[in-house]
Amino acid sequence: METLPTIWFIAIAVLWTGYLFLEGFDLGVGMLMKLFARNDKERRVLLNTVGPVWDGNEVWLLTAGGATFAAFPNWYASLFSALYLPLLLVLLGLIFRAVAFEYRGKINTDRWRTSWDWAIALGSFVAAFGVGAALALSTTGLPLNANGDRVGGAFAWLTPPAILGGFAVVLFALVHALAFLMLKTDGEIRHRARRWLIRWLPLGLVPIAGWVLLVQFQHGKWWSWALTGLAVVAAVCAWLLARKAQEGRAFILLGVFLAGGTAAIFSAVYPVVLPSTLDPAFDLTISNASSSDYTLGLMTVVACIGLPLVIAYQAWTYWVFRRRISADLIPQSHTVLPAVLQRALTRQS
């Protein structure tokens, strides 16, 4: 076994799991802006639940992509070039979403807020779908030739596994967001989130379960099947605990479900990092896709120093903003003049 490439294969799997866990409820809350919230005050409650943390959550996406580029450059080159179009859409979705978070409250009109609400919801959907499709293709395969280049047109990536993976992440994000809102809000939003979670959790986890089972039937090993069983048990327990209003435990067990499912997928395809649907001989593995041992060793040292600091900082952020939010704490929308304009009007008067 190649130790350093294996360590970094596991590290990248952990980074993607961290991204899906943190950004999962984040993207889900964005989509729920138009699916769940009933009025502007409720939408502002939803925004305030993720307001202090959404940009920090996206660090995990950048870190996962950067780690793939540095540790497995051939994997990065083949995957990102083959998925240039969907990943460009993901980038645009994240940009529109980020701008909407900042601009939504700048003008006090319903039309202005509604436009940015749609930007948040659609940007969150596109980002979740694109990331899910990319991860699914990385575990089920792309039409790659012997050079690692994609064979086919710009939409050769648009396959049933890609669509399954896209909807798997979208629906998981929605379910995870409901669990987060149940934990982070109070009042009517909290109770409605619990009702929705109990109703939709079994259906919302079907696509991601299908993705896991697809990979297991293709490449499964005994330990990946055991991890799949763990994920199923965690999902059932999360649903039962949600029915009992044990919100924190339900949220954590959804995270266990995600961790078990992603671990099952990545451990099943190991040591392949990107299968070729044309010929198994063209598969990219941890051996032919990785950087040198020197590069991986240096990255390991940097990661051992930097990753704990990132985790500690994010944990501190969540602790500081741990209080529940309710609609009663949200003031009425009102127009605020910029400081420069306020000073100018004061001088004139």
Which H or E run includes 124?
helix 110-140
Q: Name which of 238, 287, 286 is nearest 261 in CA terms.
A: 238
Handedness of CA 181, 133, 83, 283 (dihedral sign): positive
Q: Is the pLDDT of residue 169 over 70?
A: yes
What are the DSSP E strand ranges found in 32-180? none
Q: What's the pLDDT score for residue 108?
A: 83
Contact between 130 and 87 under an 8 Å Cβ cutoff? The reply is yes
Q: What's the pLDDT score for residue 330?
A: 74
**CA 131 remoteness from chain centre:** 7
Contact between 157 and 138 under an 8 Å Cβ cutoff? The reply is no
Mean of the per-residue pLDDT values of the chain: 90
List the structure tokens of 48: 């305030």
Q: Which residues pair with 183 in a beta bridge?
A: none
Report the pLDDT averaged over residues 224-239: 95
pTM: 0.92
Report the pLDDT averaged over residues 4-33: 93
Cα Rg for the chain, rounded, in angstroms? 22
At 220, the pLDDT band (50, 70, 90 cuts) reads confident
In angstroms, the CA 210 to CA 216 distance is: 10
Give SS3 for 122.
Answer: helix
> Does 237 or 342 have the greater pLDDT score?
237
Q: Is the pLDDT of residue 19 over 60?
A: yes
What are the DSSP E strand ranges found in the chain? 272-274, 284-285
pLDDT digits (tens, 9 = 90+) for 307-345: 899 889 889 989 998 889 887 777 776 666 566 556 665
